[in-house]
Amino acid sequence: MRIALILPALLAGTTFLTFPAPQEPPRPGSDVSSKPVAPSTVNDGILSAWLLVDNDNEIELAQIAKDRAQSPEVRQFAEMVIADHRQIGDKLRPFAMSTGYVTATGFKVTKTEEPTTAHEPGETKREDKAKEEPVEAKKTDAERRAEAARDDAMARERVSGAIVAPADHVALLREMGQQCVDSSKRWLDTQRGADFDKAYIGMSAMGHQHALDKITVFKRHASSSLANVLSEGEKKVAMHLEHAKNICDRMKAGDLKAEPDERR
């Protein structure tokens, strides 16, 4: 009887066997600044990088429309899209830069192995680099992004064995974005005159609708700082969408001026 009374007392006083209650993971946007790497910062980096891929694609297609659209109103719309989306990109980029996903000039290029191609006699790698720098400076953003996507694909092809490293989500987003914009450009290349205008405006309307949907979802998971930036961008994207819809309606009604140009 005495043992039965002592045992519970001993168990009650054995504090070293107790374990802390599990804590819930921090919610997106919550204050986790006390940790070395804040989950909210990582989330903001991924979300902003995702939006930057679509944002850059929208600019690239608008640049084509600015040069090839037959209707002055469509060209003006494209110019507005370029200007506004560049501003949106400038505000999103610092969030992606904070986690190393992009640089000040564009997406971070994944480092790959040194090229194994033979050099010309008398040439050194330093000489090659000096020769390549002027060419690199002349490359467009689209060319740099396409090259980065190819580098990522080649790096994955070199992976052998049963164990494969986890996918780089931003690299996948960049590759997917390049695939999408290339498909859109191929389609636009087959269109001429008013048909081109209809194709571009339709693409832009759908693109802006998808962007609005992403912003709506991303705001739920972003920090307050990024959410404020998304709210600002949301207004411009919504305005572009309504403008594109209006142009589409006027195209259907035949109430849209056009300037025939054989160069387009």
What are 245-264's pLDDT values in tens digits?
999 999 988 877 666 554 44
Which domain range does residue 264 map to? 39-109+140-156+167-264
Q: What is the mean pLDDT of the chain?
A: 74
The answer, yes or no, to whether residue 202 has pLDDT greater than 80, is yes
- For position 175, which CATH number holds? 1.20.1260
**Residue 252 forms part of a structural domain:** yes
The residue that leads in pLDDT, 106 or 229, is 229
**Residue 47 forms part of a structural domain:** yes
**Residue 264 forms part of a structural domain:** yes
Q: Which of 262, 236, 258 is nearest to 247 (CA)?
A: 258
**Residue 26 forms part of a structural domain:** no
Give per-residue pLDDT as tens, 32-72. 344 444 567 788 998 999 999 999 999 999 999 999 999 99
pTM above 0.75, yes or no: no
**Residue 16 forms part of a structural domain:** no
Per-residue CA distances from 242 to 70, 116, 144, 205, 231 (Å): 20, 52, 32, 8, 17
**Residue 12 forms part of a structural domain:** no
Task: Label residue 185 left, alpha or beta by phi (over 0 means left) and psi (-120 to 50 means alpha).
Answer: alpha
The pLDDT assigned to 89 comes to 94
Q: Which of 95, 92, 118 is nearest to 41 (CA)?
A: 95
The Cβ of residue 162 has, within 10 Å, a number of other Cβ atoms equal to 4
| Encoded amino acid at 161, one letter | G
Q: Report residue 153's pLDDT band, with 50, 70 and 90 as the boundaries.
A: low
**Residue 27 forms part of a structural domain:** no
| Encoded amino acid at 185, one letter | K
**Residue 118 forms part of a structural domain:** no
Least trusted range by pLDDT, from 8-22, 100-114, 130-144: 8-22
Q: How many domains does the chain have?
A: 1
